[in-house]
Amino acid sequence: MDAYMKLEWSKQNRRSEQRLLEYFAIDFSQYEEDIFNLHINETDTVHQLGDTFREKDQDDDESTALLEYPVDPRTGRQVRELEIDTTKRVGLYDDFPSGSQLSRADHQHCLKVLNRINMRLAFESTEDRKALERYRTLMKKLEKERKLFESFVKNYFNSNLVCRKSSIDKELDDLVVAIWKGKVGRILDGFADKRYMLATAVIWLNYKQHERNVRFEPVSEDVVEFGVVKNIFTESLLQCDTLRRNQRILDAFFEDQHRAHPVDDNAEVKTILQQDEDIRFVINSGTLAYLLNCASNMEEQWMVPFKIEVIEGRNVIFIGRKLQPIKMLTHDRNIKAHKYLVRSFMSIVRKDNPLNVSREADGEKDTECTVKTEFKVVEFDEYLQSIAEASKLKPHPHRNSRLQLWKLQEGDDQYRFLVRSRMDCYESLRKVKFYINISIKLEYQAEFGAEQMTKNELNHEWARQYLRPNSKTLRLRINAATHAIVSHHYLELKDIEEELKRSYNIDPANLITNLWQTLKLLLNFPPGEHILQHDLKNKETVNVLSINTSTNPTCSSISLADLYSNVEYDRPAVECYEWIPIDKSVITQMHRENTLLPCTFPHWVSVKRITSRETLKAKRPPPVPTVTSESKPKKKKSKASRVRKKLKDRENKAQERKHQHFVQEVQQSLNHFAPYEGPSRSRRSVDNDANKKASSVTRAKSRESLDYQLYVNQASGSGK
């Protein structure tokens, strides 16, 4: 019972880390009873602190013993470090039901070919063609394994990971709600005393193939810019461990968003409208991108205000920003929160900032200059007033805005659009600006790979990239649980169009044609203020609400002030999300580190035979044909013949029962009235014993010759 007193507690007798490492490397047997070391060996059997030396072989000429390193079953690698970083996350899921059918070399070969395919590099040489052919052969071999992988990941997600989509950090949720409330407040101020009534309903088409599509393209590359575009340092963004910021930075970002307002470019817009008489639409790029995204606007409830004004004798339609939603799901809040986190890495580069001024390499050195400062005596009240003026907020730079002319060609008719857009940020490379559109893709299954892009996300990316020709899209795949960037890709317009065509068979030209079928109907409306409203009850139509100018509002009119005064800022109690498959063509950092092909099981785990549930179901054996070559197959009898045979069988059974009853009655009568000789003596006097014996013999014979069955047979014969 006192054995525990002999144990050594290294936490009490502290030693230096270097000395401990020396002890463990030389001989661990000196400290085999250390409770601290015993606990480490018990919790982590892979990284044991014991001797890793093994005896050398006889054929080995080396004088020193060989080291036998343990192997980590999670990664299949040898553990060569004594210290373990317990805070380091293991990126790959470590409890797969089976291993991969391919070896590590096959996985490495497939990764090289897949990376070459993703980079659109040609396979021209003979070696490249052989590598591509081997890759295709291995892909056919992996078809069954990938089906099992997809089934396993889907079941695991629905059982364990679906809660990730309905969870969000409180600080991020508070940031999203605070910015949301500010935008709703501006809507209440702008539509305070306005009421709208239903005017009509117009058709709102879903995605549809058209024989002839309209062309929508910019008139020229000339762009009128306003405001300041923020700069982003992609190196600092991509190299950070997590996008999560502290509360001080989040508060500063909220103040920046709260103080920034859109640029007032009404004067410039009117000037352009007076110079170009063919402009019929002035539309915001964000609204246009949302209307082009049929996968999203068909399944959501939204409102877009627009007004029609008469300018130079023609009707011009001004389509504003889409109004804020009444409620927001947790997934949408997470996307907005991570957009804000990425924007917090952006900054405004000022030209008057001495830190950003580039100096010419002419060998000049900065000279120290002494500035003579003059002091004067002021009163205390004047000093406080100067401090108050200096502490006032300086005018904040407005958000950037761009105006660009576009034309829509429908046969011989041409319509011009003035599109108002905004750039997310720019990246400078050798004093050249590259405008970037930020696209956020949240990953809820990062331990299995990268999720496929949904139809909604691809449509949104394409619309934003199409309306900003001189820019690129930076797609950031972010782990929703750790806020870390999983992978990033720079995309051009053709890349997104190819992915749309490959994944969902969508031609972007049809999206523009579908939208134009609705927008051209707005040209027939009278001047005034209107609202486009989409309701989930009738998904294929859009209601047009016109402003109600009457002084007596009716119950059928709608007030936006009343509608937005009851916004649901709390998260929904019940949310339903569908599983998104893993993309087979996206290679993340996790796949590179583990040399693992996407959508496959790890190659360092032993292969096990896995049978799906469908194969475990008992199947009916196929019917064995009983027809031989000699016997002919029986013909199936008709229903009438089966009925006649049934009636005939009933009659035969009734006659048989009647006959049996008659036989039983005859048997009973014979038992009662048939002749029978009993043991009574005859009255004749018998003189001698010989006569007695003769009479007894004759009686025995007569008794044996009597047969009752004969009477029964006769009775049955007469009955028949």
Same domain, 403 and 544: yes
Same domain, 46 and 173: no
Joined together, the tokens standing for residue 270 give: 């009117």
Same domain, 58 and 174: no
Quote the pLDDT of residue 647: 87
Q: pLDDT by residue (tens digit) across 166-223? A: 999 999 999 999 999 999 999 999 888 889 999 998 888 778 888 889 999 999 988 9
Q: Is residue 264 domain-resident?
A: yes
Quote the pLDDT of residue 416: 95
Tell me: pLDDT of 558 over 90. no
Higher pLDDT, 203 or 353: 203
Chosen domain end from 36, 67, 98:
67
Same domain, 175 and 52: no
Chosen domain end from 11, 35, 67:
67
Q: Is residue 534 domain-resident?
A: yes
Quote the pLDDT of residue 567: 93
- pTM of full prediction above 0.85: no
Residue pair 165/329 in contact by the 8 Å Cβ criterion: no
Quote the pLDDT of residue 316: 95
Please, what's the b/e burial string for 13-22 (b: 16 or more CB within 10 A of its CB; e: otherwise)? eeeeeeebee
Tell me: pLDDT of 88 over 90. no
Tell me: pLDDT of 696 over 70. no
Tell me: pLDDT of 484 over 80. yes
Which neighbouring-strand residues pair with 399? 228
Quote the pLDDT of residue 489: 93
Into how many domains does the chain fold? 2
Q: pLDDT by residue (tens digit) across 392-435? A: 545 556 678 899 999 999 989 999 999 999 999 999 888 888 99
Q: Is residue 57 domain-resident?
A: yes
Same domain, 216 and 342: yes
Quote the pLDDT of residue 19: 55
Point out the least confidently predicted range of 77-86, 266-275, 351-360, 581-590: 351-360
Higher pLDDT, 41 or 505: 505
State mean pLDDT over 516-527.
91
Residue pair 305/533 in contact by the 8 Å Cβ criterion: no
Domain that residue 199 falls in: 169-350+397-430+511-566
Residue pair 396/260 in contact by the 8 Å Cβ criterion: yes
Q: Is residue 368 domain-resident?
A: no
Q: Is residue 313 domain-resident?
A: yes
Quote the pLDDT of residue 427: 92
Point out the least confidently predicted range of 269-283, 303-317, 337-351: 337-351
* Whole-number percent of the chain with pLDDT over 70: 71
Q: How confident is the model at residue 354 (pLDDT cuts 50, 70, 90)?
A: very low
Q: pLDDT by residue (tens digit) across 578-633? A: 999 999 999 998 899 889 999 999 998 888 776 655 555 666 677 666 555 555 55
Give φ, ψ of 204 to 5 degrees: -130, 100
Closest CA to 176 of 511, 485, 570: 570
Residue pair 304/322 in contact by the 8 Å Cβ criterion: yes
Q: Which residues contact 518 (CB under 8 A, 6 or more apart)?
A: 202, 203, 204, 205, 542
Distance CA 207, CA 205 (A): 7
Residue pair 415/407 in contact by the 8 Å Cβ criterion: yes
Chosen domain end from 67, 86, 115:
67
Q: Is residue 271 domain-resident?
A: yes
- Tell me which DSSP letter residue 70 carries: -
Quote the pLDDT of residue 355: 38
Higher pLDDT, 493 or 29: 493
CA–centroid distance for 590 within its chain: 19
Secondary structure of 260-300 in HEC code, one letter for each residue: CCCCCCHHHHHHHHHHCCCEEEEEEHHHHHHHHCHHHHCCC
Tell me: pLDDT of 650 over 50. yes
Distance CA 197, CA 552 (A): 13
Q: Is residue 680 domain-resident?
A: no
Q: Is residue 133 domain-resident?
A: no
Query: What rounded mean pLDDT belongs to the chain?
Result: 80
